[in-house]
Amino acid sequence: MHSPAILKRPDIDPSLTGISPSTIPAIDLSVSPAKRSKIWELNRTYHCPVIGLCLPTTDLERFAKRFQFKASIHNAHDLHVEAVCHATTRNSISETIHKYLDRLYENHIKQFDAAKTGNEVLALWEICFANGKVAGPLWAALTHKRSDSEVREQIHDKIHMHMHEAVAELSITQHRLSQTEQALKELAGQLEQIRKKHSQTELHLRQQLQQATAEIRQSQQSERECKILRQRLETLESGCAMLGMSQRLMQLTTENEQLQIKATQANDLKQSLKNACHTLTELYHECDTLRTERDTLENLLALNSGHTVTAEPANMITEAAISSYDSILCVGGRPALLPQYRALAGQLGLKLSHHDGGQEDALSRLPEMVYGATAVICPTDCVSHAAYYQIKRLCRLGQKPCLLFKGTGISSFAAALTKITSGQASINGLPVNTVETATD
């Protein structure tokens, strides 16, 4: 309630009015800030255009499924009516719809916040409506904090009349569309007849054109052939053709001979390159072998001289290895180097027994000697085939470590001793540390 106007005038004494100041209730003159209206606070008249224009049909169907509307989801009118009924009061459905419309038309709400009076809201609404923007500006204008009943009524009247005009215009448009569709059908029938007639005429003309084109091509081809034949006839009659052919044949013969010579040279060079690559590979392999043997001899010399080796190599002989291979059988090798073999084995603390591989020693002694040794080594390039295969068979049966290597020199023998004592051999065809070794 508003306070009486007489109490608002400072020049009138309240005692003269007959009203005691103590009987006047205290009035809070502070003005609460205006707030945007909620959808359920609007007049029921505005709920229909808000639901119909501002809430998209797909969103209305989504809300109907969420809140289990009684209306059928396929009946748009019943869904609209039920949503309008829910919007008249504050409930979970109206609150959800209000929040959703605020989020959906957030930009329009911010745009209308610039309006400070109802007239400014109405003017901004008129501008948006003239530009074809209805849904967002309608929601922002109806719920604006400065919109009063008069402003809302004008907006509603505008929307109401616009809907009437839209329905009338839609009816006229549908009538025109029906007439246009009928005329279009008639024109389509006429066009189809013209198209068929045109297709027949076009087909007949294309056939004639193709026939004429074929005749022209045939005539042009015949003319070119006649011209070529005439030129060849003139050339043959003049004798220049035979002379040119003879010169060309001689030139081709010479070029063919030169190409054959170059092909032979290329094959020779290819074979030489292949041989050189093979030789180079063998040299690299031999170099690696010699480097390994050199390192082995250097390590043995270092051990015998008592010098300390700073970096222990992978094939350094340890006391544990020597103790596990105390008796070594060497099959094959050069008999002249046998004393050096024994001396080198003795320096390492190994007992060496020897079989020449069938040259003077009988092969029948091999089983006894193999079974009496803890490991067997054999230079494969200085032993008979029979001894070679018998050693492999006996070592496999007797579970003896066996090392097959190439080379009969002292360095090769030293490298073989180093490997066999470091465990690089095979037992029964299965590797101990490495696969059955063949040292080049």
CA-CA distance, 71 to 80, in Å (whole number)? 9
pTM of the model: 0.37
Q: At the topology level of CATH, where does 319-431 sit?
A: Rossmann fold (3.40.50)
CB atoms within 10 A of CB 14: 13
Report domain extents, the chain: 39-147, 319-431
pLDDT in tens, 193-222: 999 999 999 999 999 999 999 999 998 999
The DSSP secondary structure of 7-37, one letter per residue, reads: GG-TTS-GGGGT--GGGSPP---PPPPP-PP
The predicted pLDDT at position 428 comes to: 47
How confident is the model over 409-432, as pLDDT tens digits?
888 888 888 888 777 776 544 444
401-405 and 426-427 beta bridge pairing: antiparallel
Please tell me the distance from the alpha carbon of residue 43 to that of residue 396, in angstroms, as a whole number. 107
- Model confidence over 53-83: pLDDT tens digits? 999 999 999 999 999 999 998 999 999 999 9
Question: Which residues, in sequence order, are bridge partners of residue 430?
Answer: 427
Average pLDDT over the chain reads 80
**Cα 297 to Cα 413: distance, rounded to the nearest angstrom:** 10
CB atoms within 10 A of CB 83: 24
- The arithmetic mean of pLDDT across residues 264-268, rounded, is 89
CA distances from 284 to 220, 281, 307 (A): 73, 5, 31
Tokens encoding 3: 């306070």
**Number of other residues whose CB lies within 10 A of the CB of residue 197:** 10
Contact at 8 Å (CB) between 317 and 296? no
pLDDT of 243 higher than 70? yes
Residue with tokens 């059955």: 436
Q: Are 403 and 376 in contact (CB under 8 A)?
A: yes
Q: Is 260 exposed, middle or buried (0-12, 13-18, 19+ CB in 10 A)?
A: exposed
Report the first-to-last Cα separation within the chain, whole angstroms: 119
164-191 confidence digits (pLDDT tens): 777 777 778 888 888 888 889 989 989 9
Please indicate whether residue 336 or residue 99 has the higher confidence score (pLDDT): 99
Confirm if 112 and 121 have CB atoms less than 8 A apart.
Answer: yes
pLDDT at 372 over 70: yes
pLDDT above 60 (res 3): no
Q: What pLDDT sits at residue 432?
A: 42
